[in-house]
Amino acid sequence: MKIGIAGSGFVGATAAYALVMRGVATEVVLVDVNQKRAQAEAADILHAVPFVHPVEVVAGEYADLAGSGVVIITAGVAQKPGETRLQLMERNAVILRQIVPQVIEHAPQAILIITTNPVDVMTHLATKIAADYGIPSHRIMGSGTTLDTARFRALLGTRLGVDPQHVHGYVIGEHGDSEVLTWSIVDIGGLPLEDFAQLRGIPLDDPIRAAMDDEVRHAAYTIIEGKGATYYGIGAALTRIVDVIAHDHRAILTVCSLMPEVAGVHEVTLSLPHLVGGSGVMEALPLKLNAWETSALHASARLIRAAMDELEQSHER
């Protein structure tokens, strides 16, 4: 499958590299307003091809996205010191309003994956823009809490001494501070979390859970403080999403997608476990959450809905 990537910064370039390493794509096209950067990244990644899989890697214009099955949109700006959340949203909204129509014009059949932050709000905006061109919402998704879920499972796997691939638990809601770790439904190989921990004689009391929750929730802050940006984890997450779409795997992924209603909040885009396949988002899975998690999800959905309303109102002014 031909994959387009709009934005060749750290995230876009790392996603392209991961796609090549896993052999997911037949062709990767990098598009960026900074054409020199896109060309340099494409050339650097292309030089790795002889060591892995036969993939064509090029830099191009939006017209070169024609025929793409998936287009990943990573373009955006980082938050400036002293800048408000609304100001960041407004600047990235301007970028998305420029990019999404061009992608749809040249690759009208592509599924769009948004990573631009704040990803829930930007995915909501992209979905609304795409709707004006007749693109259904199931073909627009955000990376959402795919990486947060991986972080949660990785930490649990380390704590419990088990392969994280056998840890089933989700992070839902906002990709951000209000995200919800679904402790009550975690299972390991079919065993509830508490039963597995007891079986292995591993303590998992409230203070330990609180520390793990904090580590998952603030992982990006810690990484950014140490190295300036996060890109390996999200690059791998994007590659997994593309792989699922390209091969119609019908996998359960915590991408964010437009939902008619979540926890009493209407018309909101956030992350839930979704069945994802070759046509995009196929179905959201209802979760049997406990009362605290349900309340936290409601609060997260309200926060996102308020941010969307704020962005819409600022655009109308």
317, pLDDT greater than 70: no
Give the mean pLDDT of 109-123.
96
CA–CA separation, 317 vs 315, rounded Å? Answer: 6
Question: Which amino acids are annotated catalytic?
Answer: 175
Would you state the pLDDT for residue 78? Answer: 77
Q: What letter represents residue 278's amino acid?
A: G
DSSP state of 64: G
CA–CA separation, 17 vs 23, rounded Å? Answer: 10
Give the mean pLDDT of 109-137.
96
Global pTM reads 0.95
Domains and CATH numbers, the chain: 2-142 (3.40.50.720), 146-316 (3.90.110.10)
What's the mean per-residue pLDDT of the chain? Answer: 95
pLDDT band for position 87 (cuts 50, 70, 90): confident
For residue 232 the two structure tokens come to 């390996």
In this structure, are residues 213 and 204 in contact, taking their beta carbons and an 8 Å threshold? Answer: no
Angle at 141 between CA 46 and CA 37, to 5 degrees: 30
Strands 274-277 and 251-253, bridge-based pairing: antiparallel
The pLDDT tens digits of the residues spanning 165-188 come to: 999 999 999 998 899 999 999 999
The pLDDT tens digits of the residues spanning 154-166 come to: 999 999 999 999 9
